Chain A
């Protein structure tokens, strides 16, 4: 079974891949299927969504995501919602066929650093293979495209509002954080 982790400004999403052949091959048909909502929902469905409780909570997670760090919230979310692999821990491989073996569980994430950190936090103990390969990246493009519509509680425009608020607090903290560097003394 292949799952996907998508971190959005509104919350964390875990998605289950039902059927996704040839997605990474870049075939035009696959590209179109991914862009089309009704076709995409036949390939991928929402497994779980965990919203952030406040702006501070979202910022804490955004900072961790940008550094490739796993927050407790993320770890608990993944542990609670991923099924346990049936095989022995560590036996699953990163190949495409690993997901087809009965009982193996794979999780696709957005970047390599997060994959490594999540492997140390969750994967190593549970035997879930965590990767950030081209196939996951293709599927996650589709998830990003349709995320707002995949989550029941989100209305059109909600995500944009969450992004705007989060971007302001994220960027302000970045700028403020380095206030002692060379840019002091302007004005």
Chain B
């Protein structure tokens, strides 16, 4: 994978002509990250303060689908990070496995995220859980996974599609209910943003897990 770095280094204060000597330039590859196809991208463009997915992070990604967003997460966490990508559908799972062949920081897991114990041999403790599972009981799914795999003080990021949870209620009411469910499971939601104009009636909630209060 081409590295996305170029270095310009000031070699000498005195020698003005050599002021900006180029030490090394790697090949840079920019890839389009489409906010209409990726909840994380739209959340970032929507102005989320912190998505916690950073270089070196271990991420448990629930609802990986064929891996479009997973590939971008893989770019961000880099060679020292890991993305445990869980997807139940075999059709998308096949694409995901193929993607993981090219990107060795992706651990492909074709299994049901409802039963985290099924993939307990494949996952370590993680720093972040991202979930895009669009299931009515998604808060429970995320909580089950966090309980086994999310470290103390880890973070979560959940995409909520109001329609999938309750298509008759107002989206704002659905979001509030989901936040409440999360709070009952040792999650501490910190921010919530709407994914308009990229997705309709979607929200992303970000926060921390098992947060320990700092002693005064």
Contact = CB atoms under 8 A, between A and B. Distances in A.
Interface in A166-187: 166-168, 170-172, 174-175, 178, 181-183, 186
A111 B117 CA distance: 6
Q: Chain B, interface size: which category?
A: 35 or more
A175 B110 contact: yes
A9 interface: yes
Given A147-B124, A166-B121, 14 more contacts: A31-B152, A31-B210, A35-B153, A58-B121, A66-B121, A110-B117, A113-B117, A137-B147, A141-B148, A160-B82, A163-B123, A170-B109, A171-B110, A174-B111
A175 B66 CA distance: 13
B14 interface: no
Contact of A9 (B93, B118, B121, B186): B121
B124 A167 contact: no
A126 to B, nearest CB: 24
* Interface-central residue, B82, B108, B149, by most chain A CB under 10 Å: B108
B98 to A, nearest CB: 10
Contact of B111 (A66, A113, A163): A66
Q: Chain A, interface size: which category?
A: 35 or more
A171 B109 contact: yes
A22 to B, nearest CB: 15
A174 B152 contact: no
Contacts of A9: 121-122
A164 B107 contact: yes
Nearest to A64: B121
Interface of A: 7-9, 26, 28, 31-32, 34-35, 58, 61-62, 65-67, 110-111, 113-114, 137, 140-141, 144-145, 147, 159-160, 163-164, 166-168, 170-172, 174-175, 178, 181-183, 186
Interface in B83-125: 84, 90-91, 93-94, 96-97, 100-101, 104, 107-111, 117-125
Contact of A28 (B94, B101, B213): B213
B212 interface: yes
Q: Which 4 A-B pairs have the closest CB atoms?
A: A111-B117, A183-B91, A66-B118, A171-B110
8 contacts: A61-B121, A141-B147, A144-B148, A145-B125, A167-B109, A170-B119, A174-B111, A182-B91
B151 A145 contact: yes
B90 A183 contact: yes
A27 B134 CA distance: 32
A28 B84 CA distance: 28
* Interface-central residue, B82, B120, B147, by most chain A CB under 10 Å: B120
B94 A183 contact: yes
B90 A170 contact: no
